[in-house]
Structure 1
Amino acid sequence: MAKKGKPRPDHRPPAHNPHYAHDPPPYSQQQPPLQQQNYAQQMHHGGGGGNRQHARPRPSPPSEVSDCVKYSLFLYNCIFWIVGLFFIAAGIWAFHDRGVFNEFQSLSTNEVSFLTDPVIWLFVLGGVVFMLGTLGCLGALRENICMLKCFSIIMGLILLLEIGGGCAIYFYRAQIQAQFQKSLTDVTITDYRENADFQDLIDALQSGLSCCGVNSYEDWDNNIYFNCSGPANNPEACGVPFSCCIPDQASGVANTQCGYGVRSPEQQNTFHTKIYTTGCADMFTMWINRYLYYIAGIAGVIVLVELFGFCFAHSLINDIKRQKARWAHR
């Protein structure tokens, strides 16, 4: 039998006493080991285990460049580009139909024919519109500030010329009309037969407006082919172009010889029944007054379309600058 003695002292640690500073904190409040912390962080970010989950990429902030403005400007300039290409193609076709090498030789020796040639103005207009469309299309797609600035500068100059020209015509219309009539008399009458395309343009103007000459039918006396002092064997002497003739409604066929000798003394009493006697300058003024509101409306629409292109280009330039500034501050 074991001897009964004094009970052995209990060496177990006492219960946790919150007032005892040297007691360790409860297990729930203890920090996990460093390896456990790393593992928990790895699992939280999807870095370990068979059920690994990839972290979603951080969404990028929206771009400062407006897609609406960008592609609206692109489509806007596509129309310009197509119209300019059409004008250039029409000029090339007209040159080919006329004989391009002979035409270049005549243009180099006749400055007046060069300035009054409609085909040359087709090339000039088509080239300017085509260049504008190319700058706008490439500048919008590539977001190129240099191209967009060139486009906006050219468009701004065109707007200034149109607005300034309209104001000058309105305030100085009497002086401009007098000078315009004198220039038309010197150019259209004298050079009527020098250029086939220019001749067709004058004929279309006289037939469309029902007029003859610039100021009156007597203006055709300044042309060497219709002058009354020309050769006696010339059938066109003392006459006018066939586009000055009043059409015969019964036959409906244009008579290209109807203007021969109508201004001769023998036909002084009957010529007014055969040809138009009013000048094209007066008829053109009457036509403008008749359709003034329509002309003003069309001109206003054209200015607004050009103004929209100018504003779109500036808006896109500012968007690109803001986007570049954001990239620079990253």
Structure 2
Amino acid sequence: MSDSRKFIVCTSINPPTEAIRRFDACTDWTLIVVGDRKTPDDYRLENGIYLSPGDQEKLAPELSGLIGWNCIQRRNLGFVLALDEGAQIVATVDDDNIPHDDWGTGLLVGTTTPIKSYVIDDCCFDPVGATEHGHLWHRGFPLQLLSGRDYSRSETIHTRIDVQADFWNGDPDIDAVCRMEHAPDVTFDPENFPFTANKPGPFNSQNTFLTRDALSRYFMVPGVGRMDDIWASYHLQHLGYTVAYARASVTQLRNVHDLTGDLVGEFVGYERTIDMVKEIAGGTYDARNYWPEQALAAYDAYLRRVGA
């Protein structure tokens, strides 16, 4: 195990993938893979930590019970362990995102730095639309705002970066509607990064770096389908944490998905995220209006467990 205070957290129900093997070989980072009841019983890592279902129940029994099984939100247990182990920076990744050779280097997260900031009048920012692939949009960006995206104004600001959301070449993190229409295979020009915005925007859990303080309040929301990480991102920004979007540092070789199933899992976002971001912009947002009751109880258990 690395002596670093930088951790990588991932969930997987597969045998170790190419991405997992590469993350496990990162000498400056400690990998934590959170298992589930579908994960092979003989799952092994060369260097990192495998957190078995039994380990999770011992680590945070109340939280484990409230989250339930066979869901990606088990990743929250990995966040607990990373914080217990003294992590200062945590990367949350997926097992189908192949890290580039320079992954995890030159990080802005945890620093105060000058950065390009888009100035938008609307209540939500789409980071994908700010790139050369402006026909696409980030998963979780409200479809109702697509026609009004405007990137004509920007300024340089000096700000602390609490979250660094790196992009992904190959099959990017777009929603099912966008993927059905475009089926993209893209490469993002690194010259377009980094940037932030004056309004909140979505970020995901598949190639994102968080400071210890931000992670202690970041929580993948059970019971909201494929909005689990998206609504978590908006909630964190509502609390005042700043996100910067940075160059692609992985290539996504996306696991097999049923796009119709993805569409169903995203529908709650198509329907309700627009109201959420409007309320965040207006200062009236309350998670209790969006998160299921059990998710709220789980978040409370998480906050108490990590001492936030």
Query: TM class by shorter-chain length?
Result: under 0.3
Structure richer in helix, relative to its length:
1
Higher RCO (C-alpha 8 Å, min separation 6): 2
Bigger Rg over Cα: 1
* TM-score, scaled to structure 1: 0.20
* TM-score, scaled to structure 2: 0.21
